Amino acid sequence: MGGRVPSTSNAPRYRPGRHLLQIPGPTNVPDRVLRAIDNPTIDHRGPEFGTLGRETLARLKRVFRTTGPVVIYPASGTGAWEAALVNTLSPGDRVLMCRTGWFATLWKEMAERLGLEPLFVETDWRRGADTAGIGAALAADPQHRIKAVCVVHNETSTGCTSRIDEVRAAIDAAHHPALLLVDTISSLASIDYRHDEWGVDVTVAGSQKGLMLPPGLSFNAISEKALAASAKARLPRSYWDWQAMLKPNAEGYFPFTPSTNLLYGLAAALDMLFEEGLENVFARHDRHAEATRRAVRAWGLEVQCAEPRHYSSSLTAVRLPEGHSADALRALILERFNMSLGNGLGILKDRVFRIGHLGNFGDLELIGTLGGVEMGLAAAGVPHQPGGVQAALAYLSQMP
């Protein structure tokens, strides 16, 4: 959309053309979802809401690939992180986490604040979770003091995707009873994910990325084992309590006032995902990610993810040559071309920029995005070769 420019800027007050929101979430909200949200709010205890709630909660399971319950919180993804921990764990419990990047680090800090004892398996922020390291830590815990393994499926700060099937296999190989908690905030509905098949106990998700909604909803998909653990877990909880939520959810209602209009949007987003077909959604994201990496290589730049098996399909983090500022490049691209790119976080601050290619996104939007980056590299004087957009075009035009 064209937009008002902040009043501190010297730029004209109105910018024609659409702003390209190519951060790795929140993503561009499709018009169909916006139109659905733009309906009168209804009585959340009335019959019409009960139908919306029942149908939406049931249809949502398909996206998580689970037959178990999924609960919805009117909260950002951070709330669903907290819900996953406080419903399943007790003060002083050990949790095994993997420092894949910035978001894994934040989840670990939350665990500490809640009175848990996190153990951190390190990575160099250039690959997904170290499954061998997780397996070794579990094997070294014969008394089963570790109660949960927590992994970020798609580390949004690095563009590296962890292999949850391999994490599951490592837990099984160690014959360890720990719960498996997985953050899919930047992967759900854009990268293949299977809650039941991979034996995940709690899946954490958010509305503002693959689900194509504004920020404001978050989710826990819950296994039977996690539900059983919640009956004994002793961390204090009230707002996040699954039991309080699941009872009214059975009839489509909530224990408090739900985000009625965001739920209209969610129903529309689910329609769109199922009309396209989840397999096609994943293939589209894989294809856009490959086209983006081809552009990056043609520019002579480096992708932050150093392990091809862990390449993310929802975003690509691009390293800048030494001595060049990624933040200055992003600022120039925003000012000149009206496009927002993701910033570097934590140890990657100013070292990388992140291209989000997830959500409601087509080939021509990708070409526009890559065109903005290529023009920005030239205008900012970042050493590179031209031809990245051409490489992406060549790939996209040969692939159906």
Binding residues for ligand PLP, per CB under 6 A?
Answer: 25, 76-78, 103, 152, 156, 183, 185-186, 206, 215
Cβ proximity to ligand PLP, 130 vs 183, nearer residue? 183
Q: Which residue is nearest to ligand PLP (CB)?
A: 77
CB of 394 to ligand PLP, least distance (A): 31
CB of 123 to ligand PLP, least distance (A): 15
Q: Distance between CA atoms of 75 and 33, rounded to whole angstroms? A: 19
Q: Distance between CA atoms of 16 and 340, rounded to whole angstroms? A: 15
Neighbours of 204 (CB within 10 A): 28
Q: Distance between CA atoms of 398 and 290, rounded to whole angstroms? A: 13
CB of 228 to ligand PLP, least distance (A): 26
CB of 287 to ligand PLP, least distance (A): 22
Q: Which residues contact 210 (CB under 8 A, 6 or more apart)?
A: 27, 186, 187, 188, 189, 190, 191, 281, 314, 358, 359
Cβ proximity to ligand PLP, 76 vs 390, nearer residue? 76
Q: Which amino acid, residue 192?
A: D
Cβ proximity to ligand PLP, 158 vs 299, nearer residue? 158
Cβ proximity to ligand PLP, 156 vs 338, nearer residue? 156
CB of 317 to ligand PLP, least distance (A): 12
Q: Distance between CA atoms of 228 and 88, rounded to whole angstroms? A: 9
Task: State in Å, rounded, how far the first CA of the chain is from the last one.
Answer: 28
CB of 388 to ligand PLP, least distance (A): 25
Please answer whether residues 24 and 342 qualify as being in contact, where contact means their C-beta atoms are separated by less than 8 angstroms. yes
Cβ proximity to ligand PLP, 183 vs 201, nearer residue? 183
If 0-12 CB within 10 Å is exposed, 13-18 middle and 19+ buried, where does residue 154 land? buried
Cβ proximity to ligand PLP, 25 vs 159, nearer residue? 25
